[in-house]
Structure 1
């Protein structure tokens, strides 16, 4: 397996047959989603001419060509552009979550930003981007590669709001139970770059912008022909912002966080006038959409077909509390295996989306983890009643929550394995220490950077019961 680096360890315990099936589906899916291959398939240089899909640019007419990148899939996206442009690239800046030893760039400097909470290095890199744009002009070309996570990694708050204010705001919102769209409504409206503000700066100096994006937004349709520019692109910081100031205010009110957010943020958002709204259209920019959230389920289903296993896409809209989702999927597995509803075993159920974990009191946190890990721990408790049932839940970009693992994989034997080691899965959920529990039973999934970022990917395999069992 190319993408799942610790597959051997994951197959050293548990229901090995079920685990092998789930891990192979995941590996095949992640390989197809890798943005390096996606970009290289549509982008090339022929002399002075840059061709991307159905469009071409004569770079001999450009004074400078700059590459900006941010996001959890930025490593592979930026490398693809950097490798294609070669000496044609004037300078590149990429803000990544994890800098891998295998990353190789020619003219791009890499900065490790903070995620899920912003940090000083991401802030400094963002300021460098602003400085470059402010000295650019109509003869310059900017190529931007953006994936999920850019809101935290490209941290650059507006004047009057400090970096610490932005960090505290992000921390409170992530633990409030708010969805990612609601969280972003706040973050985008206090940023000098997000919410389309980077694109606006480039537009203001008259330079041209080409954008590559991966959309991890729940509700985006599956991609079609990625070689054709995407007219309806709505991914910030390089595209128009679909959220509004009113959305930001509603998030503060609906989740009752005004007294926990920094005063500077609340005062600004509650009093900002229409002139502080984020930009809503960039008709002159050229965008290419590489992947969207439903693609992971589509590719996973195709992988299942290649392996001869019936598969159903349950939903690509999965949201809500992660542990509840884990219990629900375990209940589905039991229904399928026992009664054949809504499909007969053996089968695979696929889902994607973005579940969350609500933490109202930081004092309850005793370890590390993330939504995918909590989902698989919760699944393990109920799935003990369904022989061979196995769930993998990962954040497709390679890191889930506060742990440097992609997520977890558990099966019907995991509860017994944990108990045998003196580990309480119930306590792990209460104390948000699911990484420690999964790691102890060989069930934490490690991928490193995958080259994509399509939120959660959940693969549930349900075997048929042997006759007489």
Structure 2
């Protein structure tokens, strides 16, 4: 299997090398355990025409058509796993991915490269093909659906009266507003013809069966346990019920003062559509399996730390807020550990997960590329100079952070000195949101490509031993 971290040699050519080695090894092990292709293949089996997941089974020979629909940043791995199991019984498939890899292996599945974080024409074209597929279905058909984070953008398909450009502009404004992902999705789902369960509703209207595999990047879910047991109270994504409401969407526009910034067609629709504009809230007839959830990254990271023989703790799986502030907070934790041995003694690993944001109210200040994980790493760097050997990695677990081709960044107690030596002014980098260019210039941008999962932000802190402060 190809290494999850593709530029390890470059990352180990700068900074606190020994600390970086430990962090990169922990990250590599964790990402391997999260890979959805292996996770799905561990529970989804076929003998002859019968496929089974745990105690449930389906005889594909009794079905008229067997379809595969996938979307999301981990869709490549998920869709390949399902297609390989279905084999010759698959009638047709559509996968909407963020990045198509040379290693992708599809036989009957049509692959579209959709837009993320904002939707594009290819994603819209794919959605139209999905609609055609569903339109021809009936009660003798079965749909195997695979979804992960990013499907809202990749399946961009606005309701009549709203253009794709207006949906894309709405997404861009929401992502830079400071709103959290649930708030962002409350708006996006209610203006989409596919998201918020509307694709599932189309399948239900045809009385076809739906079996779904999902990866959740929401802070709302706990860690998975036995992934072969159907997930109760599943919600969100195009294939499941939506727990956000039209009232939620209108509240987001009000709370973040977006009415004069969003396209008029969007605000007008949300205010006037009435009850018929609400998204579907339940699909008891469907079967859903949760393959990975956001806290799983820390569950597997703890297993990796145990394998490496390094003491470790999980700080939180609910980390939210501004990326730079979160990075500075992680540096404060590192200093407390190294100085006072609290909340754990060094040397140690500290894991956390969640979803931080970067608020941008004026696009004119942007001078480069970046994302929350990049800015979290640089926030750590700004406060880490007094913590010898401390190292911090922040990545978007699916492999791309914000508007960059990198998963995120790694920073340590030598990062600020490296930026200065390269003539890079840290305050200007943060003001202009050019964090990717800054980290890449000093060997701090982490490249993974598609990781096969998407459980949002994953962060690793390593703190080596230091001189404990004297206590009076």
* Structure 1 residue aligned with 2:436: 435
* Structure 2 residue aligned with 1:400: 401
Query: Is residue 43 from structure 1 mapped to residue 49 from structure 2 by the alignment?
Result: no
Structure 1: stretches of 5+ with no match in the other structure: none
What does 1:349-388 correspond to in 2, within 5 Å? 349-388=350-389
What does 1:11-90 correspond to in 2, within 5 Å? 11-90=12-91
Q: Does the Cα contact within 8 Å between 2:341 and 2:468 map onto a contact in 1?
A: no
Q: Does the Cα contact within 8 Å between 1:74 and 1:95 map onto a contact in 2?
A: yes
SS of 1:369's equivalent in the other structure is coil
Q: Does the Cα contact within 8 Å between 1:43 and 1:84 map onto a contact in 2?
A: yes
Q: Does 254-263 or 235-244 show the bigger shift?
A: 235-244
Q: Does the Cα contact within 8 Å between 1:405 and 1:448 map onto a contact in 2?
A: yes
TM-score computed with the length of structure 2 as normaliser? 0.98
Q: Does the Cα contact within 8 Å between 1:230 and 1:287 map onto a contact in 2?
A: yes
Q: Distance in 2 between matches of 1:306 and 1:270?
A: 54
* Structure 2 residue aligned with 1:98: 99
Q: Distance in 1 between matches of 2:468 and 2:396?
A: 36
Q: Does the Cα contact within 8 Å between 2:183 and 2:252 map onto a contact in 1?
A: yes
SS of 1:235's equivalent in the other structure is coil
Q: Could you tell me how far 1:232 is from its partner in structure 2? A: 1.7
Q: Distance in 1 between matches of 2:409 and 2:120?
A: 27
Q: Does the Cα contact within 8 Å between 1:294 and 1:316 map onto a contact in 2?
A: yes
Q: Could you tell me how far 1:181 is from its partner in structure 2? A: 0.2
What does 1:187-266 correspond to in 2, within 5 Å? 187-266=188-267
> Stretches of 4+ moved more than 3 A in 1?
466-469
Q: Does the Cα contact within 8 Å between 1:126 and 1:156 map onto a contact in 2?
A: yes
* Structure 1 residue aligned with 2:143: 142
* Structure 1 residue aligned with 2:304: 303
Q: Distance in 2 between matches of 1:239 and 1:49?
A: 25
Deviation per residue, 1:113-141 (Å, 9 max, x gap): 00001000000000110111011101111
* Structure 2 residue aligned with 1:111: 112
TM-score computed with the length of structure 1 as normaliser? 0.99
Q: Does the Cα contact within 8 Å between 2:195 and 2:238 map onto a contact in 1?
A: yes
Deviation per residue, 1:158-212 (Å, 9 max, x gap): 1111101100100110111000000000000001110000110000001000000
Q: Distance in 2 between matches of 1:468 and 1:295?
A: 35
Q: Distance in 2 between matches of 1:411 and 1:79?
A: 37
Q: Could you tell me how far 1:467 is from its partner in structure 2? A: 8.4
SS of 2:453's equivalent in the other structure is coil
* Structure 2 residue aligned with 1:423: 424
SS of 1:94's equivalent in the other structure is strand
Q: Distance in 2 between matches of 1:78 and 1:214?
A: 12
Q: Could you tell me how far 1:219 is from its partner in structure 2? A: 2.2
SS of 1:57's equivalent in the other structure is strand
* Structure 2 residue aligned with 1:283: 284
RMSD: 1.2
Q: Distance in 2 between matches of 1:151 and 1:253?
A: 22
Q: Does the Cα contact within 8 Å between 2:338 and 2:468 map onto a contact in 1?
A: no
Structure 2: stretches of 5+ with no match in the other structure: none
Deviation per residue, 1:279-317 (Å, 9 max, x gap): 111001011110110000111011111111111111100
SS of 1:152's equivalent in the other structure is helix
Q: Does the Cα contact within 8 Å between 1:215 and 1:235 map onto a contact in 2?
A: no
SS of 2:213's equivalent in the other structure is strand
Q: Distance in 1 between matches of 2:280 and 2:237?
A: 10
* Structure 1 residue aligned with 2:336: 335
Q: Does the Cα contact within 8 Å between 1:213 and 1:235 map onto a contact in 2?
A: no
Q: Distance in 1 between matches of 2:83 and 2:373?
A: 32
Count of aligned positions = 469
What does 1:424-463 correspond to in 2, within 5 Å? 424-463=425-464
